[in-house]
Amino acid sequence: MYPRREDMKPMMNNIILMPILIPFLGAIVLMLLPKRVIIQRIFALIFSGILVVATFSLVFYVRENGITTLNIGNWAAPFGITMVGDMFAVLLTATTSIILFCVVLYSFYTIGKPREKFLYYPAMLFMIVGVNGSFLTGDIFNMFVFFEVMLMASYVLLVIGGTQVQLKATIKYLLINVVGSAFFVVAIALLYSMIGTLNMADISQKITDLNGANTGMISVVAVLFLFVFGLKAGLFPLYFWLPGSYFAPPIPVLALFGGLLTKVGVYAIIRTYTLFFSSLTDFVVPLLGILAIVTI
């Protein structure tokens, strides 16, 4: 007897992990093929193509079934790790996969074999793990974890080639992001001390249940998140690190940085402020609009 469609839906929800697992598996495979540039190119292109198919399959799945959630290890939210795919998040993963595929293809003709030998393609795929994980996580602490995966891979991409300009830019980029990560942890700790949960949907509900209590601390957390994500997004006046970091790397790496890294910061601002700080909308929305215009 064939399983009913509704019985298969929880199993089909595992598709939400594909944008994370595919680049992760690809990075591991490519790390086992050091110095074999041609083979690395082929496998990088294959995994990038598979990722495009998987992310667009996820888009169509979410379009038909609505918001998709998956509790890792069958631990129910808010106690376990939850992955969430709404149309906003899955469209961003699809966009990410297209950018990756184009950058991988362009790298064949521009990056050069000396750079390709030193974990270039694995670092690129690990960065995509962090980017897609940031889009799909339903847990604020795991957003921090995926941010760090993304940033560590970006350090490798930024330093590949070893020119003096690249090394200087990498040190500056590293120090700035260490500061940002430290403030991110502080913001999460403050939020957890008040709310007692890390699940984003649960945080949203519990902040609403406060009914105006702890407004001061909520505002402090909101400012910290704006600083952290604004720094990563290159939002005015926190964009001082962008020129050096974007000038130093090769063009394919620059395309990844410009097309993905800063956009993850923008996504995080939108996601956290719409979920956590809806009571501050009257102040925050005009402020973000002004900052966006000035940044441009």
Which residues neighbour 48 within 8 Å (Cβ) at sequence distance 6 or greater?
26, 97, 100, 101, 104
| Res. 44: pLDDT tops 80 | yes
Q: Reduce the DSSP state of residue 139 to 3 states and report it.
A: strand
Average predicted confidence (pLDDT) for the chain:
83
**How many whole angstroms separate alpha carbon 280 and alpha carbon 287?**
11
| Res. 9: pLDDT tops 60 | no
Q: Domain coordinates of the chain in residue numbers? A: 5-295
pLDDT winner (highest mean) among 151-160, 186-195, 205-214, 283-292: 186-195
**How many whole angstroms separate alpha carbon 34 and alpha carbon 19?**
24
Residue scoring higher pLDDT (65 or 118):
65
Pick the closest to residue 119 from 40, 174, 45, 51 (CA basis): 40
| Res. 11: pLDDT tops 60 | no
Q: What is residue 83's DSSP assignment?
A: E
| Res. 108: pLDDT tops 90 | no
Q: What is residue 279's DSSP assignment?
A: G
**How many whole angstroms separate alpha carbon 296 and alpha carbon 293?**
5
* pLDDT tier, 217 (very low <50, low <70, confident <90, very high otherwise): confident
Residue 282 is predicted with a pLDDT of 67
- Reported as a single tens digit per residue, the pLDDT across 226-236 is 888 888 877 77
Cβ–Cβ under 8 Å, residues 31 and 119: yes
Pick the closest to residue 147 from 132, 167, 166, 125 (CA basis): 132
- Reported as a single tens digit per residue, the pLDDT across 139-159 is 999 999 999 999 888 888 888
- Reported as a single tens digit per residue, the pLDDT across 119-145 is 888 999 999 999 999 999 989 999 999
Percent of the chain residues past pLDDT 90, beyond the cut: 28
* pLDDT tier, 223 (very low <50, low <70, confident <90, very high otherwise): confident
Cβ–Cβ under 8 Å, residues 167 and 219: no
Residue 156 is predicted with a pLDDT of 84
Pick the closest to residue 256 from 69, 139, 128, 132 (CA basis): 128
Which residues on neighbouring strands pair with residue 139, listed in sequence order?
A: 199
Residue 51 is predicted with a pLDDT of 96
Q: What is residue 72's DSSP assignment?
A: G
Q: How many CB atoms lie within 10 A of CB 42?
A: 13
Question: If you average pLDDT over residues 27-40, what whole number do you get?
Answer: 86
| Res. 213: pLDDT tops 70 | no
- Reported as a single tens digit per residue, the pLDDT across 62-102 is 998 888 888 876 666 666 788 888 899 999 999 999 999 99
| Res. 116: pLDDT tops 70 | yes
* pLDDT tier, 220 (very low <50, low <70, confident <90, very high otherwise): confident
